[in-house]
Amino acid sequence: MTPAPIHIAGERLMLDPAGVLVWPARKLLVVADLHLEKGSAFAATGRLLPPYDSRETLQRLALALRRWRPARIVALGDSFHDAAGAARLPPAEATALARMLGGAELVWVLGNHDPVAPDGLPGAAVEELAEPPFVFRHEARPGRIPPGEISGHFHPKATMPTRCGGVTRPCFLADAWRVMLPAFGAYTGGLSVTDPALAGLFPRGARAFLLGQERLFSLPLAPSRARVA
């Protein structure tokens, strides 16, 4: 796996093809939209999806943690699919989560799906985390902002035209002010970067980094006024 460096607000950040962002200077790893226990949330409404999504998501996260060995992990909200999700996390998965932290500090930024702190799990919950020059929040704040916002929420995906047709992948989105992470959860779908809700946050255009098996593929996106929203 080859991560890609980007520079924002004078700092160097690494984008990992697994879908996590790392701030090496602070040994900090960011992951967005885990949507743990989405399967059981659906099951509660009669849709009995395979109950392996949390296990799958955490196994993938464990691999990323082993690669980077961060001191601090920031989960950018919607870590659980619903407010009761943390309580439904099977004991085996909760134990696995505690073990994979390996002494690292865990920060739960709260999201719209999980507006309350997860009970009985390690880590502290915050509405947003300010760590100058960066601010880590669930949903990007529209309009002009100072450089250095790291967010999730939108599950961005992009389609790159190739000589054999378009290839669609989840992606990071970045401009000089913001970085947006792809959703990490096993059952999370994506929202196209051409959607007005997303394009509007990057009025001066952006760069999409599509997730590949071993590396990222970068795709420039036009300013939203030039693109058809």
Partner 1 sequence: MGTLPEPFAAWFAGRGWTPRPHQLALWRAAAAGESTLLIAPTGGGKTLAGFLPSLMELAQAPRPGLHTLYVSPLKALAVDIARNLTAPVAEMGLPISIETRTGDTPQNRRARQREAPPNILLTTPESLLLLLASPEAGTLFAGLGAVVVDEIHALAGTKRGDQLALGLARLARLAPGARRVGLSATVAHPEPLRAFLSPTGAPEAVRLVQVKGGAAPELEVMLPEGHLPWGGHMGLASAPEIYRRLRGAKVTIVFVNTRAQAEMIFQALWRLNDDNLAIALHHGSLTVEQRRKVEAAMAAGKLRAVVATASLDLGIDWGDVDQVIQVGAPKGVARLLQRVGRANHRMDEPSRAILVPANRFEVVECAAALEAVRHQELDGDPPRPGGLDVLAQHVLAMACAGPFHPDDLYAEVTRAAPYAALTRHDFDDVLRFVEDGGYALRVYERFRKLFRDAEGMVHVRDQRVARQLRMNLGTIVESPLLKVRLRGGPVLGEVEEWFISTLLPGDSFIFAGQTLRFEALDAMSAIVSRGGEGDPRVPAYAGARMPLSTWLAARVREILHDPRKWRLLPEPVREWLRLQRARSALPEKDGLLVESFPRGGRWFLVAYCFEGRLAHQTLGMLVTKRMERLGYGPLGYLATDYVIATWSAFEPTDVEPLFDEDILGEDLEEWMAESSMLRRSFRHIATIAGLIEKNHPGHEQRPRQMTMNADLIYDVLRKHEPDHILLRATRQEAAGGLTDVARIGKLLARAKGRIRHLRLDQVSPLAVPALIEEGREWVAGGAEDALLAEAEALVAEATNGAEIFNEVLADVTEGIRVRAGVVDKPRHRDRPRRSRFIRSMKTAGGA
Contact residues toward partner 1 (CB under 8 A) are 1, 17-19, 40, 42-53, 55-56, 60, 90, 155, 157, 160-170, 182-192, 195, 204-207, 210-215, 217-223, 226-228
- Each residue of 48-59: b (16+ CB within 10 Å) or e? eeeeebbbebbe
In whole angstroms, how close is the CB of 192 to partner 1 at the nearest point?
A: 8
Beta carbon nearer to partner 1, 13 or 210: 210
CB distance 154 to 180 below 8 Å: yes
- Any long-range contacts for 117-125 (C-beta under 8 Å, 24+ apart)? 118/79, 118/80, 118/85, 118/86, 119/86, 119/87, 120/86, 120/87, 120/94, 121/86, 121/89, 121/94, 121/97, 122/97, 122/98, 123/73, 123/75
In whole angstroms, how close is the CB of 45 to partner 1 at the nearest point?
A: 7
| Token digits of residue 173 | 């989105």
Beta carbon nearer to partner 1, 34 or 135: 34
| Element housing 228 (H / E) | none
Amino acid at 86: A
Beta carbon nearer to partner 1, 96 or 135: 96
CB distance 56 to 187 below 8 Å: no
In whole angstroms, how close is the CB of 173 to partner 1 at the nearest point?
A: 12
In whole angstroms, how close is the CB of 84 to partner 1 at the nearest point?
A: 12
Q: Give the distance between the most distant pair of CA atoms in the chain.
A: 51
Beta carbon nearer to partner 1, 103 or 166: 166
Provide φ and ψ at 61, rounded to 5°. -65, -40
Beta bridge partners of 74: 30, 107
Beta carbon nearer to partner 1, 57 or 135: 57
In whole angstroms, how close is the CB of 66 to partner 1 at the nearest point?
A: 13
Amino acid at 40: S
Beta carbon nearer to partner 1, 136 or 184: 184
In whole angstroms, how close is the CB of 54 to partner 1 at the nearest point?
A: 10
Beta carbon nearer to partner 1, 74 or 210: 210
Up-side HSE of residue 180: CA atoms within 13 Å toward CB?
Answer: 28
In whole angstroms, how close is the CB of 124 to partner 1 at the nearest point?
A: 25
